Amino acid sequence: MKKKYFGTDGIRGCVGEGQINPEFMLRLGWAAGRVLGKHADSRVVIGKDTRISGYMFESALEAGLVASGTDIMMLGPMPTPGIAYLTRTLHAQAGIVISASHNPHNDNGIKFFSSEGKKLPDEVELAIEKQLEQPLATVESKELGKAFRVDDAAGRYIEFCKSTIPWVMNFRGLRIVVDCANGATYHIAPYVLEELGADVVAIGAEPDGLNINDGVGSTHIEHLQQAVLAHGADCGLALDGDGDRLMMVDNAGRVLDGDDILYIIARSRMANGGIKGSVVGTQMTNLGLEHALRDIDIGLERTKVGDRYIMEMLEKHGWTLGGEPSGHIICLDRTTTGDGIISALQVLAEMHSTGNSLKYLANNMEKYPQLLENVRLSGVTAEEIMASDSLKKAVAEVEAELGASGRVLLRPSGTEPLIRVMIEGQDGHQVEILTKQLAGVVRGLL
């Protein structure tokens, strides 16, 4: 069955539009409680990022869950991966995250974690959607749920993050700039690093409800680059609004994206006992990463864009490491979901154990030039374009010209009427010419 409300990463949109309103959130909380809270001692944890609308949706979800007879534990502002962790350790039936991740403050959304700290299976999301169609009925007063505040949520998660690297390790002598995107990690990430001995400069750590992701964080990396150079730091970490993405900056101000970070972690794992199976990337993962991993006897498997699909492939094969260029890194040997802070700690641990700079660790991988051009559709569907024999022939010709040193990716956008044309290869000039050539073929079919 096709889902009506849930997308690949929960329910998200502009506040006050569509389902992103208090009335729907009340009903969603009730429906989730009815589906997830089937045991007498059922409880659900709720956390949020720092956007102002989080208070409104937190209250609405609380009311709906209580009306269904489900107890709730309120975490307050917490990174998404922290909510996943606390869902497990508090033995809750589910965790609810109120966040729109890297989006601006006027967006918000809801996503759920299972009792295992993983994203809900499709069948559970479908069951919640089915329950949403039923009339809301409040349980008897004696069966109403209760709400509790978890006062030490931040401290619990800080200790967990620190536990993902050897306890004897410390970062004394390292100056690190951390950009918290004025989001959910503002009271977590700086303290994790300080307690591990680092000299920390925190920026983007003064949320006011409106400034989340506003010119800071992993989607505005230039702010961190400037700060690293200004403070003479060894490196910089840029998180997004809910803390599940990571970008890094070396001491020269060079940006390291998710592919760079994934390579450093994979190489570290290989040097310290090996890595289980292959690394999982997506269709957008740079070919340079694939070749660099191959050189150290690690395979790369690709899946559709989205950390949900990376997780599915990792779990299917029993593998442990995957990620996206956007900075979603999943270390299943450390935690259950993408976690920006924990990913950063794995890189910092490698710097500490080898004595090498971040710049040195990233130099072993050469990323290939990659160009993306979007072609907006008009009067024809993406399916019709993708089925065109002339387009298939043009793609084959470009692939033949690139050979083993490049690749072509054509894919319809999942949210807009677009065909995305992406080509990468060792020769940047050739990539530019071929991208324009193939995009022209697509436009000729409109």
User: Which residues does the annotation mark as catalytic?
Assistant: 101
Residue 93 neighbours by CB under 8 Å, 6+ apart: 36, 37, 38, 39, 42, 43, 44, 70, 115
CA angle 289, 295, 298 (to 5 degrees): 70
CA separation for the pair 69, 141 (Å, rounded): 9
Where are the strands (E) in 240-317, listed by range? 246-250, 255-256, 279-282, 300-303
Report CA-CA distances (Å) from 176 to 163, 227, 244, 350, 363.
19, 10, 19, 15, 20
Cβ neighbour number for residue 425 with a 10 Å cutoff: 24
- The DSSP bridge partners found for residue 228 are none
Strand order in the sheet with 107-114: 11-14, 107-114, 94-98, 43-48, 71-77, 147-149
What does the block give as tokens for 190? 């700086």
* Backbone phi and psi for residue 119, each to the nearest 5 degrees, phi listed first: -65, 145
Three-state SS string across 316-357, please? HHCCCEEECCCCEEEECCCCCCCCHHHHHHHHHHHHHHHCCC
Residue type, 283: Q
